[in-house]
Structure 1
Amino acid sequence: MASEQEEIARFPSVLHPRDLAEAWTFKRLFDTEAIYVAGGTLLRTQWESGVATMPRQVIDLSSIPGLTGIAADEDAIAIGALTTLGECRNDPLLIEHYPMLVEAFKSIAAHSIRNSATIGGNIASRVGDCLPALIACRAEFEWCTGLSQLRESASEWVERLHVQSPKPSNLLTRIFLPFMNQNRTAPVKFGAYHKVGRREAFTPSVVTVAMSGSLKPDGAIKEVVIAAGGGQTIPQRMHAAEKALKGRLPDRELLIEVHGHVEKQFVPKTDPLVSDAYRRKTAANLVAAALWREFVREEGEGYGAKQID
């Protein structure tokens, strides 16, 4: 039987930084032997399942001021990284301006988990189900890098993850969502978020896709962002599909072309239960179906813009 000392050694020690600078210093000092923790819901699951190794130290961010809450200025909605998914789901600003993102929050875990899990933790996992939606919403992330702040788009961040590891000491502090369609002459918007899991509710994702864009006066697509992820896959921009859609009026032939681009470009991680081929096909089906619903008024009536309020 393990001694009391051995049992205690199984669990990490907890560091309680007073501010961002101290948290960043702890991480720089202990490097891979320490990890930032807020809600910790996903980390506990990974430790228990053996997916991730329990570190020697955890850096508890919960006492650092200024990392919670949702507020708006003239240009963007700012979300503190320690704001819970439950708060994000019920926030009036997000419901009004980013209903697609709210749908993503609703699809993550159960109610009790969303009341503890933070948006920053979902992002920092690199495979969180809200990430495709944040990419499609053109979100920007603000990171504490020690003595300064770094701000980059969600799209740029995930694309860097595919080619290099980010500095582990960098600490996510805020998420910015730009205001769109702020006057009556702004372009019509469209958007969609879909998650497929192995059962109907409270399930890990197999595939998640999100898209958003704007239209020209004639109904052609002016701008579009499409992202796909799910499971243990770091989300990816579907650049070829975006390029094919830009400047064109969607029709059956175009959707077939887009389907092919997504199926070819999406490179998901496989696992013993779901193959990468299934994930690619599912992502392509979800994107094509979402575009069909957005632009087909009724069977046989042709295509047109449908505004999302």
Structure 2
Amino acid sequence: MQPFTYTSPRSAAEAIAAFGRAGAGASYIAGGTSLYDMMKLDVARPRHLIDVTAIEGLDGIDTDGAVLRFGALARMSDVARDARVLRDYPVLAESLSKAASQQLRNMATVGGNLLQRTRCVYFRNGTGNPSAVGVYPCNKREPGSGCAAIEGIDRGQAVLGQSAACTAVSPGDWPVALVALDASVEILGSGGSRTLRVADLYRAPGTTPHLEFALSPGEIIVAITVPKTAAGRRSTYHKIRDRESYAFALASAAVALDLAGGRVRRAHVALGGVATRPWRAEAAERMLAGQRLTAETALAAGRAALTGARAGRHNGFKIELAARTVADALMIAMERNA
């Protein structure tokens, strides 16, 4: 780990100003459950850390207003056990409670979780020094160095949204649920405030996989807002993984259903564990509109959700797995009382 300096501002404005003074190499830190890990691996090398956890007013949970509003510094565990979220939006609660361990959820923030970087083993392996033992090329870590995963062991890699430069999976659970529910983030920077859909926060890898988020230097996420919807009650986050706890998804699905007269009026469907960013399954949503939900229509929608999927050498199983994950999630959501 390289040396770094540290500051703890008391307001968002102070944090943004500190970032501006520090210049290149500055990084915000909240719970630190992801960044500290990457620093120890020598993948992230910030020269100046700006600890935002002392900023007051960014940890609130408001479920009484026109939208659900979560301060960026709210802890994952606090949001996951909020009574209103548990009752009316189980997809949100489950996406948080199925992520990491309880200890990490007690530290990690819902804003910081949105900016979690990939768990691709090639990205996380090494310093980028070609002479180092065990280091693999990674365009996300070292732009222009290549992607070892494309010709390597790609069991955990994406089958949706890949490019010739990167196949790394977006690792989050919470972002998948937020994308399904059309959530947005409130952002503050030196140029003022703005709002961005969570779906638009994530950039496709294209030829620049190292540019992962649609944030300008120094911008900070201050809150997450989720439109209220009756579909929230018939919702679930279904996650398939190699082991039941503390593991990242091989495939996951966030689903919320608005039903009328036994038919789907609107479906919200998003995928995790199989794409380079949280993946909205619009083809599945269109297929389900007006349909009675049966095991057969659910599986057809699941397969529609994987339209355009491309398997690598070892991850072809993910396509059928993800389709069935969506189908199972649809049936779980349908059976929940609205």
Residue number in structure 2 paired with 1:175: 224
- Per the TM alignment, residue 69 of structure 1 is displaced from its structure 2 partner at its CA by 1.9
Residue 319 (structure 2) aligned to one of 257, 280, 283: 280
- Per the TM alignment, residue 29 of structure 1 is displaced from its structure 2 partner at its CA by 4.4
- Per the TM alignment, residue 223 of structure 1 is displaced from its structure 2 partner at its CA by 1.3
Residue number in structure 2 paired with 1:129: 173
Residue number in structure 2 paired with 1:144: 188
- Per the TM alignment, residue 60 of structure 1 is displaced from its structure 2 partner at its CA by 0.6
- Per the TM alignment, residue 139 of structure 1 is displaced from its structure 2 partner at its CA by 2.0
1:239 alignment partner AA: E
- Alpha-carbon separation, structure 1, partners of 2:333 and 2:193: 38
Instruction: Describe the SS at the equivalent of 1:264.
Output: coil
2:55 alignment partner AA: I
How many residues align structurally?
279
Residue 196 (structure 1) aligned to one of 240, 257, 278: 240
- Per the TM alignment, residue 227 of structure 1 is displaced from its structure 2 partner at its CA by 1.0
- Per the TM alignment, residue 15 of structure 1 is displaced from its structure 2 partner at its CA by 2.2
8 A Cα contact 1:191 1:308, kept in partner: no
- Alpha-carbon separation, structure 1, partners of 2:252 and 2:320: 12
Q: RMSD value over aligned CA atoms? A: 2.7
Change over 3 Å in CA distance of 1:168–1:225 after alignment to 2: farther
8 A Cα contact 2:183 2:198, kept in partner: yes
> Are residues 1:81 and 2:125 paired?
no
- 1:1-309 equivalences in 2 (<5 Å): 10-50=2-42, 52-125=43-116, 127-158=171-202, 160-161=203-204, 165-166=213-214, 167-181=216-230, 190-216=234-260, 218-230=261-273, 233-266=276-309, 275-295=314-334, 306-309=335-338
Residue number in structure 1 paired with 2:164: none
TM-score, normalised to structure 1's length?
A: 0.80
- Alpha-carbon separation, structure 1, partners of 2:232 and 2:176: 21
Instruction: Describe the SS at the equivalent of 2:65.
Output: coil
Change over 3 Å in CA distance of 1:252–1:263 after alignment to 2: same
8 A Cα contact 1:38 1:121, kept in partner: yes
- Alpha-carbon separation, structure 2, partners of 1:188 and 1:228: 17
- Per the TM alignment, residue 243 of structure 1 is displaced from its structure 2 partner at its CA by 1.3
- Per the TM alignment, residue 196 of structure 1 is displaced from its structure 2 partner at its CA by 1.9
Change over 3 Å in CA distance of 1:188–1:226 after alignment to 2: closer
- Alpha-carbon separation, structure 1, partners of 2:88 and 2:327: 24
- Structure showing the higher helix proportion among its residues: 1
8 A Cα contact 2:254 2:329, kept in partner: no
Change over 3 Å in CA distance of 1:117–1:232 after alignment to 2: farther
Instruction: Describe the SS at the equivalent of 1:82.
Output: coil
8 A Cα contact 1:189 1:215, kept in partner: no
TM-score, normalised to structure 2's length?
A: 0.73
Deviates more, 1:61-70 or 1:122-131: 122-131
1:291 alignment partner AA: L
- Alpha-carbon separation, structure 2, partners of 1:30 and 1:308: 52
Instruction: Describe the SS at the equivalent of 2:172.
Output: coil
- Per the TM alignment, residue 202 of structure 1 is displaced from its structure 2 partner at its CA by 1.4
Cα displacement string for residues 20-76 of structure 1 (whole angstroms, at most 9, x for unaligned residues)? 1222233344454111100001112223344x3221111110111211121234302
Instruction: Describe the SS at the equivalent of 2:114.
Output: helix
Cα displacement string for residues 226-259 of structure 1 (whole angstroms, at most 9, x for unaligned residues)? 1112288421111111111112223455334323
8 A Cα contact 1:197 1:207, kept in partner: yes
Change over 3 Å in CA distance of 1:260–1:99 after alignment to 2: closer
- Alpha-carbon separation, structure 2, partners of 1:65 and 1:252: 48
8 A Cα contact 1:214 1:224, kept in partner: yes
Instruction: Describe the SS at the equivalent of 1:44.
Output: helix
